[in-house]
Amino acid sequence: MSKQMIFSFLLLFVLMAGCSSTGTLGLVTKSSANPAALLQKAQDFEDLGLTEGKACRHFVLNVAPFGNSNFEAAVNKALQRTGGDALINVSTVSSLYGFIPIYNVYSFTCTTVRGTAIKFK
């Protein structure tokens, strides 16, 4: 590899930065649901299949944020796709990416949830 190519790769890594964290959950419901009441009585449900929801928040010059990257927004997007009431066997990933991180020119953070959507009968 030439010195110019190595320098280009190093410059690319300096201008971009990112990190991620992951986790798992058993049952996640809509924020309007009462999960305690649902679990107290044995309630039948229909398996709607795997679904995914992603919510992102963007920052320009670290001053002008727009969007919503919270967990609730990601869960609601996942449930809207299937019409489900809750997610089971949920995995979640939170990521943060920055471009030219020294000056905070542009960055964004995203929360992604994946799980099996269910609909209570």
Each residue's pLDDT tens digit in the chain (121 positions)?
Answer: 678 877 776 666 556 667 777 888 888 887 777 777 766 777 788 999 999 999 999 988 877 889 999 999 999 999 999 999 999 999 999 998 887 766 778 888 999 999 999 998 8
Do residues 90 and 69 make contact, with C-beta atoms less than 8 angstroms apart?
no
pLDDT, residue 19, reads 76
- Spatial separation of the C-alpha atoms in residues 80 and 82, rounded to whole Å: 5
pLDDT, residue 76, reads 94
Sheet holding 86-99, edge to edge: 16-29, 86-99, 106-120, 45-60, 64-67
Q: Considering the domain 17-120 in this protein, what is its CATH number? A: 3.30.110
CB atoms within 10 A of CB 103: 10
- Spatial separation of the C-alpha atoms in residues 90 and 24, rounded to whole Å: 6
Please name the residues in contact with 81: beta carbons below 8 A apart, sequence gap of 6 or more.
51, 52, 53, 117
pLDDT, residue 97, reads 86
- Spatial separation of the C-alpha atoms in residues 112 and 60, rounded to whole Å: 21
pLDDT, residue 113, reads 96
Residue 97 tokens, joined: 């990416």
The residue type of 33 is A
pLDDT, residue 31, reads 75
